[in-house]
Amino acid sequence: MDWHKMSEQEVIDTLKTDRKNGLSQSAAEEKLKEYGTNELEGKKKKSFLSKLKDQLLDPMIIILVIAAIISAFIGEAVDAFLIIAIVIINALLSIYQEGKAEQSIEALQKMASPKAKVIRDSKIREIDSRNIVPGDLVVLETGDIVPADLRLIESSNLKIDESSLTGESVAVEKDYRETYEEDNVSLGDRKNIAYSSTIVTYGRGLGLVVGTAYETEIGKIATGLDAVGDEETPLQKKLKVLSKQLGMLTVIVCLLVFAVGYFMHNNTAIEMLMTSVALGVAAIPEGLPAIVTIVLSLGMGRMAEKNAIVKKLLAVETLGTTTVICSDKTGTLTQNEMTVKKIFVDDTDIDLTGTGYEPKGSLEIDGREISVDDTKSIYTMLNIMTLTNDATLEEENGKYVITGDPTEAALLTAAGKVKVTKQAANDSYPRVEEIPFDSDRKMMTTFHENFVENKVVSFTKGAPDIVIEKCNRILLDNKIIDLTDDIRKNLLEKNSEYAKQALRVLAYAFNVHESLPQSLDSESIEKDMIFVGLTGMIDPPREEVRDAIVECKSAGVIPVMITGDYLETAVAIAKDLGIAEDESQAMMGKELSNMTDEEIREVVKTTRVFARVSPENKVQIVRALKENGHIAAMTGDGVNDAPAIKKADIGIAMGITGTDVAKNTAEVILTDDNFATIVHAVAEGRVIYSNIRKFVGFLLSCNIAEVLIVFLSIVFNWDTPFLPIQLLWLNLVTDAFPALALGVEAAEPGIMNKPPRDPNEPIIDSKMRFTIASQSIAITIASLFAYRYGLSHFPDHIEAARTIAFTTLISSELLRSYSARSENIPVFKLGLFSNKKLVLGTAFSAVLMLLVVYVPGVNDLFKLIPLHWEHWKVIIPCALIPFAIGEIFKAIRYKKDK
């Protein structure tokens, strides 16, 4: 439909909606069933058969399947059947694990779903944008991403960035009053339409949804949208290279095994082919990338439970390397429950009691409760606080809930303490126009009727220094007098006094107009105003942030406050929380504007508080920190924070107060807007990387040992210690379950007492190389000794020797998984059974091992025999040797570190 050509009433009639009250909830639910959700289809999921095909088309699996077919042809049907069965079990396990990872990411995507503000049943509601339907009445404010195609029915200085749709870089001015009759009006020229996925850069508006999902203009262009890309993290790339290198090495060893066994020792070709291929499959850690993905996904889930939604796997990895956290103050370091504590009007300080958003408390002068009539100008002051206000404060189930800016909600709360409400004020003095707030002028102005008879009054609220500068008169005792230099100086001193008490100060002014001005711009309206008063409010620090700052510093992570607040307020909060020691560690953002890049790089080395910063200053700070070699995390909530969020190594957006633009730009979203959550996420990132190292070291030491055992036995011309089917079962038993359990190991003591790791450091460093080498050699020697013992004591019973070697190897690898829980701390210090998942995983693996050894019929299939105590007398000591060696080395290292 040509919605841009239709009148407002035609659109309302067509959509069967209400211009004032929006849709009813029941009507919206019916439309949702009719039109479906407002989302573009992402990448189609792979079917089960497609995933199974991918697993079975692995080159090594293909070789194994061919070997099984050959084995069946030469009469070894049982072996062939078991090999195929184990291959399928392995494939099904991988598919299951892949599915769990997909489910985890899908759940996080839903949690990170963009929100939209709609009017339903005459109330503003915040809902998932996917649940918007045609006919919904959508509220647009600066920073919002337009959730669907809208026909505008109200607009106030509304500008929208449509570059994602039209390629036009300049924001488009919108006007709901525009109408069109011609047919070929281009998308960029339709000023009465707002398009899905475009960004509100200025002003506010109201629009009716006329298209959702594929009925939007962006949906018509899109052929599919993948919300989560398939980008590999640097860690996954490193592991992939490592797997390939190990694979090539293993193939060479397998060829050597085949050549030595076939040409030097006259074993049959099929026997050596089966042994070599099975050895290759057992030795190559082909599951590494899958396990890494699962562990990262599980880590994302744990972070989400702790209020940090991570949108990309890459961010999980990078979080652990963070060296500096640049944090906004309001809501992140503080409680985000602003409370007005002071009102300065008629040259009088008024104290307010009560905290939070519940309008309980009172206004007091020198401890005496006052009413609106006690000071003559307070009525005007409270009305300006209430009318220059886009927040709402409503009681729901006994609790007061705010929509909009916490600062504005605090003003509504303060006025409500003396029964001045937004509803009553708006009914008496309706808003007819406005100049919205922006971060450059730091003011907002609204125009109202009826406050002065037959005239229009403009009320202005904003930063005190700017508002005072724009005033030339003042309201005192309900009289308007000239604003003299002495009075101006007194006001600025009062502003400074409040700021030094860590209060956030706002100033209020007004002007009277004969009628609504023709030109509604800041230059002509916000000047020569009448000053009314000041408010001072405080957002108390979060109690948990103090401990988080201490943890940050012990972890070698530098906390930096970057705020738009005044220097005095910022320093007071920073000193209270332990971010800064004194004023020498703080500076104003405007000072950065006159510095060279080199000077800024020097400044950020010692400065811990940046106040009154501009969006450009934030980018300068982040860039300088990165150039100094830091891995920088940057938090933000507004449109103007987006460039710095994007510039940082880790962008973090506020989930409660954050705009859609900030959330869309960031890699991490905090659902509680809490600085302590960032520190928890950094700790989780460190734990995840540490755990990845653990299971990489575990898998490699075990797999290298398996290769060495078979290779050396062939070189020594002994009978092969493991049959192909035994190697495959061993691979299934020892790799998957303990490795995954190591991936969820709890944080080691002191993990946040170490400096951040270098993101460029190799996964396998010198310490890990020594551990892998020593453990591989120890497991090899122990297993070969046990095998040789079996050969010498049971010369006519090769199955006994193989069973002893088989059981020794599995037992030593399961014990190795416990030693792998820490690279430095002895397992007994950690608590032998403190990782319950590892206990369950190794117990299950041990049961599977005993199953093929003791269950009649099953052991025949695997060519194993039931073991007796005389066998276990050699198995247990041999299996314990590698574990003991590893723990001895760690004990020595631990003592040295202590």
Q: How far, in Å, CA of 755 to CA of 556, rounded?
A: 5
Q: Which two tokens stand for residue 191?
A: 């000023």
Q: Helices 48-56 and 77-111 sit at what angle, rounded to 10 degrees?
A: 130
SS3 label, residue 533: strand
SS3 label, residue 458: strand
Strand 529-538 to strand 471-476: parallel, antiparallel, or no bridges (unpaired)? parallel
Q: Give the HSE-up count for residue 848: Cα atoms under 13 Å, Cβ half-sphere.
A: 20
Q: How far, in Å, CA of 343 to CA of 505, rounded?
A: 9
Instruction: Tell me the β-bridge partners of 193.
Output: 151
Asked whether the beta carbons of 525 and 516 are under 8 A apart, the reply is no
Asked whether the beta carbons of 532 and 384 are under 8 A apart, the reply is yes
Residues 6+ apart with CB under 8 A from 411: 340, 385, 386, 389, 391, 506, 535
Q: Which two tokens stand for residue 341?
A: 């504590």
SS3 label, residue 544: helix
Among residues 169, 208, 172, 212, which one has the least CA distance to residue 188?
172
Q: How far, in Å, CA of 765 to CA of 234, rounded?
A: 16
Backbone angles phi, psi at 232, to 5 degrees: -80, 140
Asked whether the beta carbons of 351 and 342 are under 8 A apart, the reply is yes
Residues 6+ apart with CB under 8 A from 154: 176, 205, 206, 207
Asked whether the beta carbons of 407 and 537 are under 8 A apart, the reply is yes
Asked whether the beta carbons of 452 and 512 are under 8 A apart, the reply is yes
Q: How far, in Å, CA of 770 to CA of 779, rounded?
A: 14
Q: How far, in Å, CA of 894 to CA of 525, rounded?
A: 71
DSSP line for 156-173: EEEEEE-HHHH---SPEE
Q: How far, in Å, CA of 623 to CA of 291, rounded?
A: 35
DSSP line for 739-805: HHHHTTPPPPTTGGGSPPPPTTS-SS-HHHHHHHHHHHHHHHHHHHHHHHHHHHH-TT-HHHHHHHH
Q: Which of 328, 390, 637, 660 does the annotation list as catalytic?
A: 328
Is residue 347 flagged as an active site residue?
no
Among residues 569, 559, 612, which one has the least CA distance to residue 587?
612
DSSP line for 558-598: EEEEE-SS-HHHHHHHHHHHTS-SSGGGEEEGGGGGGS-HH
Q: How far, in Å, CA of 701 to CA of 547, rounded?
A: 39
Strands (E), 24-147: 115-120, 123-128, 137-141
Q: Give the HSE-up count for residue 240: Cα atoms under 13 Å, Cβ half-sphere.
A: 8
Q: Please write down the HEC assignment for all residues of 220-284.
A: HHCCCCCCCCCCCCHHHHHHHHHHHHHHHHHHHHHHHHHHHHHHHCCCCHHHHHHHHHHHHHHHC
Q: Which two tokens stand for residue 429?
A: 């003095």
Q: Which two tokens stand for residue 590?
A: 């405007």
Asked whether the beta carbons of 143 and 202 are under 8 A apart, the reply is no
* Catalytic center residues: 328
